[in-house]
Chain A
Amino acid sequence: MTTVTSVGAPGVPSPVTIPATRRRFRLPHSAKVITGTTLLGIFVFLAIFGSTLSPYDPNAIASAANGVPQPPSAAHLLGTTNIQQDVLSQLLTGTRPIMVVAFLAGAVATVLSILIGVAAGYFGGLVDDLLSMLINVSLVLPALPLLIVLAGFLGASSSANDLLIALIIAITGWAWGARVLRVQLLSMRSRDFVESARLIGERPWRIIGFEIMPSLAPIIASSFLFTVIYAIGTYASLAYLGLINASHWSWGTMLFWAQNKDAVQSGWWWWFVPPGLAIALLGTALALLNFGIDEFINPRLRAAGLSRKAARGAGLPRRFRLGLTPVTAQALGGTDLADSAQDRAFPDTEISR
């Protein structure tokens, strides 16, 4: 062993180019994220084009039949209701209201929670006391009874107004996000980089906007998604309870009519399963997307995120654990070098593997 030839590295180090868009928004290519994005994409498509795609008018009474719902057939792919309205048309037409309400309510509630939570956490003192009280009161108030009271005042015509309903849901849904953001701000406020920005004389809005906001992004994103999920459930509940104008088609309204006409007891599954499934799938899509955002935002998850193939190829676990640095299978295999070294260093003992 007199020489060790070097591995084939280039003689002259090639100039290193740093890619310009290092933090491009790219979600991880995991199965969860792909499924979530695809599902959400389908629902967004249906929200936009659903009413044009629907084969019938959801209110149209197809034929003066006997008042018994018809199971799925070629003419009615998802069957009909008891007065022979097309279920598929109702499902497609009903996508838009629930999506509009859910995302609008999510957006308004998130903006509210950022304004109130961040102000409470950053400014502290009396501002914090007052805003915290507001947050706690909203948390303690039971949301659904309040919504029922509010919706009860609206009446049939204004309860068909999606924007109004979204605002009402937002008012009951912002407090959790605000509470989480306030606590995060309390911790961020005393970090060294924030304090140094304060000492330099930066204005509060700039410190909040440029120094603190980036690290709040994951919390805001996931709080938005979960508020959207909350709004979906709440809107469906309100409609199911009959508090939304019953001729304003949404998935909740469909469930309201199905319940009203004893669809479950009579086994008319094509009437209540599609809207229920749609609600569940939309919620799932958003939850899956949230996982992706988590992985994108957390730099350590990204840094350690080996592709499954690369990890398996090197004989390594997919996830690294603190205090247990992985060793490649090749290194564990034991080389001649190591064996001869054993003799030299520990001639008398057996190595336990």
Chain B
Amino acid sequence: MTTRPTASTPLLDVRGLSVDYGVGQDAVRAVTDANLTLYPGEVTGLAGESGSGKSTFAYAITRLLRAPGVITAGSVRLRLAAGQPDGVIDLLAATEWQLRQIRWSQIAVVMQSAMNALNPVFRIGAQLTDVLRTHRPQMSRAERDERAAELLRMVGITPDRLRAYPHELSGGMRQRAMIAMALALEPRIVIMDEPTTALDVVTQREILEELAALRERLGFAVLFITHDLSLLLEIADSVSIMYAGRVVEQASAAELFRAPRHPYTLGLLGSFPSLHGPRVTMTGIGGSPPDLRHPPAGCPFHPRCSYAMDVCRERTPCLRTPARDEISDRLVSCWLHDPAGSSPSLPPALAAGPSLGGSR
């Protein structure tokens, strides 16, 4: 786990992003007022159940969301690379041409089941060099081939596979090839949407280890989306937990694991076994996520929350520093941690003491 240099400024800053599917009466709010900050070289995780808005959020940041998705509020600010005229661009206000300049060279995306994005009738090498030909016109053919071989070697595929067609590679190799392709232009941000979901755990482990090593070397920031919280705690620096389209807790991975503040996070942590430590009964979370067409009043989690109070059913909490963590920069959206202190007694499971020194 890396420690963040104190002076670093964020690469990407998402504020108050809201996304609707549809317009007008039939609109369903899939993401509500979500914030996210990405620092250079950091891995930020985004976790939550299926349908909690993780992918929608990430796609909206890059403006890749398909119809009928509409961004209804917020800002997505990206700090441009030093080589470019220094400044910050709002992706929501960017023109199509600006987005073309930014995508892949600044922000690359590895999609869910990205391996299907390979064209079946072209060789891997041709598909890898294609992007270089467009974005690096000054490169010679030999240089492009050399770079493509280097990219494949980077993700652990022997360069002779450049001559292979996609159907000649296994699923894991295709996924690696896609990751190699995403890194071709040395982006500063890589968004990975469940990049390893279709793979078995051994391959998953290999790919993630390679990814970690690459990040050390190349220094890109990663936004990693998954429903696998245990995986995320291992690879991420900071983690955002999403529920029903809202970010309900944001903290460093270590603090989140040691001292979850939101009851939903606690439930998620109680849903997978620990390989070390004493044997405990897994609890899970009762019920199922709310229907976003008819979200419950107040906190969206209250129908499933065993600590729900009266205020939870009436008013929606907003994301802020919990009462007992004033020194750290973690955020939680729960009335139990309201700094105004209306909650009389915090349940012990959510009240682990503030971290000593912290990880950052």
Using CB atoms, name the residue of chain B closest to A319: B67
Please indicate which of the listed interface residues A314, A327, A338 has the most CB atoms of chain B within 10 Å of its own CB.
A327
For window 263-318 of A, CB contacts with B under 8 Å fall at 300, 303-304, 306, 310-311, 313-314, 316
The residues of A that contact B315 with a CB separation of less than 8 Å are 3-6
Across the interface, name the chain A residue whose C-beta is closest to B75.
A338
Q: Which residues of the other chain, A, contact B18 by a CB distance below 8 angstroms?
A: 331
Q: Given the known inter-chain contacts A13-B294, A314-B24, A314-B70, please indicate yes or no for A323 contacting B99, CB distance below 8 A.
A: yes
Closest-by-CB residue of A relative to B26 is: A310
Tell me if B24 and A325 are in contact (CB < 8 A).
Answer: no
Partner of A4, one of B77, B79, B316: B316
- Nearest CB of chain A from residue B74's CB, rounded to whole Å: 6
Of the listed stretches A27-35, A123-131, A208-216, A342-350, chain B binds A342-350
What residue in chain A is nearest B71 (Cβ atoms)? A327
Known pairs A314-B70, A325-B64, A325-B71; A6 contacts B9 (CB<8 A): no
**Docked complex Cα distance between A4 and B92 (Å):** 25
Interface mask (B65-90 → A, CB under 8 Å = 1, otherwise 0): 11111111111010100000011111
Expressed in whole angstroms, the Cα–Cα distance for A322 and B66 within the complex equals 6
- Is B295 a contact partner of A349 (Cβ separation < 8 A)? no
Known contacts A4-B318, A6-B314, A345-B9; A353 and B90 CB within 8 A of each other: yes
Nearest Cβ on chain B to A293's Cβ, whole angstroms = 21
Q: Is B37 an interface residue (CB 8 A)?
A: yes
CB pair A346–B67 under 8 Å, yes or no, is no
Contacts A6-B297, A326-B71, A349-B87 given; does A335 touch B63 at CB 8 Å: no
User: Are B294 and A16 neighbours in the complex by a CB distance under 8 Å?
Assistant: yes
Asked if B296 lies at the interface with its beta carbon under 8 angstroms from chain A, I say yes
Is A320's CB under 8 angstroms from B15's CB?
Answer: no
Question: A16, A314, A321, A341: which contacts B13 (Cβ < 8 A)?
Answer: A341
Verify A325–B70 contact, CB threshold 8 A.
Answer: yes
Instruction: Indicate whether B93 reaches chain A with its CB closer than 8 angstroms.
Output: yes
A345-B24 in contact (CB<8A): no
Does A200 interact with chain B (Cβ within 8 Å)?
no
**Contact, CB under 8 Å: B294 / A9:** yes
Known A-B contacts A4-B315, A6-B298; the reply to A325 vs B13 at CB < 8 A is no
| Contact status A14-B13, CB under 8 Å | no
Q: Which residue on chain B has the smallest CB distance to residue A345? A: B13
B340 at the interface (CB under 8 A from A): yes
- In the assembled complex, A74 has its CB within 8 A of some CB on chain B: no
Partner of B23, one of A11, A300, A314, A351: A314
Q: Would A349 and B291 be within 8 Å (CB), given that A306-B68, A323-B64, A342-B77 are in contact? A: no
Q: B interface, how many residues as a size bin?
A: 35 or more
Interchain CB contact under 8 A, A324 and B99:
yes
At the interface, yes or no: B354 with Cβ under 8 Å from chain A?
no
Closest approach, in angstroms, between the C-beta of A340 and any C-beta of chain B?
Answer: 9
Is A346 touching B88 in the complex (CB atoms < 8 A)? Answer: yes
**Complex contacts, A316 vs chain B, CB 8 Å:** 23, 70
Distance (Å) between the CB of B261 and the closest chain A CB? 18
A324 to B23, CA, bound (A): 16
CB proximity of B209 to chain A, nearest CB, Å? 32
CB-based contact B73/A331 at 8 Å = yes
Q: Closest CB-CB distance, A9 to chain B, in whole Å? A: 5
- Chain A residue at minimum C-beta to C-beta distance from B96: A324
A326 to chain B: closest CB distance in Å? 5
Q: Is A1 an interface residue (CB 8 A)?
A: yes
Cα A328 to Cα B74 with chains together (Å): 10
Instruction: State whether the Cβ of B293 lies closer than 8 Å to any Cβ in chain A.
Output: yes
Hey, which chain B residues are within 8 Å of A157, CB to CB? none
B318 to chain A: which residues have CB within 8 Å? 1, 3-4
* Chain B residue with Cβ nearest A323: B64
Interface hits, B129-163 → A, CB 8 Å: none
**Complex: A338 Cα to B71 Cα, angstroms:** 15
Contact indicator B294/A320 (Cβ below 8 Å): no
| CB-based nearest A residue for B18 | A331
A4 cross-chain contacts in B, Cβ below 8 A: 315-318
Q: Knowing A16-B291, A311-B23, A345-B77 are in contact, say whether A303-B67 is a contact too (CB < 8 A).
A: yes
Which B residues lie within 8 Å of A9 (CB)? 294-297
Chain A residues within an 8 Å CB radius of B90: 351-353
Interface flags, B274-318, vs A, CB<8A=1, else 0: 000000000000000011011111100000000000000111111
- Specify which chain B residues have a CB less than 8 angstroms from the CB of A320 in the assembled complex: 66-68
B10 proximal to A (CB < 8 A): yes
Considering only CB atoms, which chain B residue lies closest to A4 in the complex?
B318
Nearest-neighbor residue (CB-CB) of B298 within chain A = A6
Instruction: For the complex formed, measure the closest distance between the CB of A335 and the CB atoms of chain B, giving whole angstroms.
Output: 7
Q: Does the CB pair A10–B297 fall under 8 Å?
A: yes
CA of A328 to CA of B75 in the docked complex: distance in angstroms?
A: 12
Q: A325-B64, A346-B13, A353-B93 are in contact. Are A10 and B74 (CB under 8 A)?
A: no
Q: How far is the CB of A205 from chain B (nearest CB, A)?
A: 31
* Top 5 A-B residue pairs of the complex, sorted by shortest distance between their CB atoms: A304-B67, A320-B67, A13-B294, A345-B13, A341-B15
Q: Can you report 18 residue pairs joining A to B where beta carbons are below 8 Å apart?
A: A4-B315, A5-B315, A9-B297, A11-B297, A300-B67, A303-B68, A306-B23, A313-B23, A314-B24, A323-B96, A323-B99, A325-B60, A325-B65, A331-B71, A341-B16, A345-B13, A349-B86, A351-B89
For the A-B complex with A332-B93, A353-B90 known, give 16 more contacts whose Cβ atoms are closer than 8 Å: A16-B291, A16-B294, A304-B68, A324-B99, A327-B63, A327-B70, A328-B72, A328-B73, A330-B72, A331-B18, A331-B73, A341-B15, A342-B75, A345-B37, A349-B79, A351-B87
Binding site for A on B (CB under 8 A): 9-10, 13, 15-16, 18, 23-24, 37, 59-60, 63-75, 77, 79, 86-90, 92-93, 96, 99, 290-291, 293-298, 313-318, 340
